[in-house]
Structure 1
């Protein structure tokens, strides 16, 4: 699947995130498209690997996690169509990578997505 980046229509904050070992990394995503773009997808790309979907959310519903991803490590929340949040819990070295937010009207793979990304870095306290 590919993402179409459309300027400032989708915003992910922070754009670069550093976290200490065992801390949580919180990312927020919002968009200026209309409320028909109510679906939010969160992806992770680790160094040297392809992008994988972690979670899928719609307003006021529990997130759906993909593959081996689960709520023990990740939290995805969405209460309104225009925004949502994603947390990587208890950071460890293996969590360093790029995290992507994408929004869509429906999950049909023929439709275009708008997305943005946040690199997340974990650092140890020395």
Structure 2
């Protein structure tokens, strides 16, 4: 899945997963070019986040399985909030995020 925007002020890009009947969950983020952070360490090998430049990001799910069926959303933010050395990225979702007009779906039947 790929995502892009056109506002140089929004340097952080975030990827969210929303499974049916659940809220959005932050799964990956990047605070700049060539930066990649996967939230759930057990999924570090499964999720590949690429950030070739400040305005583009892509997320790849390797060996996708039924449990990966969900809507995936990309967002951009002007900053990454931190609290006591720990990122508060889910709070940021509600405060300071711009979503591009589209999300993507991954479904298995």
- TM class by smaller structure: 0.7 to 0.9
Q: Which residue of 1 aligns with 2:107?
A: 121
Instruction: Report the CA distance between 1:89 and its aligned residue.
Output: 1.2
| Secondary structure of 1:122 counterpart | coil
Q: Which has the higher contact order (CA 8 A, sep 6+)?
A: 1
Is 2:6 the partner of 1:32? yes
Greater strand fraction, Structure 1 or Structure 2: 1
Is 2:74 the partner of 1:101? yes
Q: What is the TM-score with the length of structure 1 in the denominator?
A: 0.67
Greater helix fraction, Structure 1 or Structure 2: 2
Instruction: Report the CA distance between 1:70 and its aligned residue.
Output: 2.6
Q: CA RMSD in A?
A: 1.8
Structure 2: runs of 5 or more not aligned: 82-91
Instruction: Report the CA distance between 1:111 and its aligned residue.
Output: 4.2
5 Å-filtered alignment, 1:49-64, equals 49-57=22-30, 58-61=32-35, 63-64=36-37
Structure 2 contact 16–72 (Cα < 8 Å) conserved = yes
Structure 2 contact 78–96 (Cα < 8 Å) conserved = no
Question: Greater Rg, structure 1 or structure 2?
Answer: 1
Instruction: Report the CA distance between 1:77 and its aligned residue.
Output: 0.6
Instruction: Please give the per-residue CA displacement for 1:32-67, whole angstroms capped at 9, x wherever unaligned.
Output: 22x121211001011122111001112122x11213
Query: How many pairs were matched up?
Result: 95
Distance 1:101 1:82 in 2: 12
Structure 1: runs of 5 or more not aligned: 1-26
Is 2:15 the partner of 1:42? yes
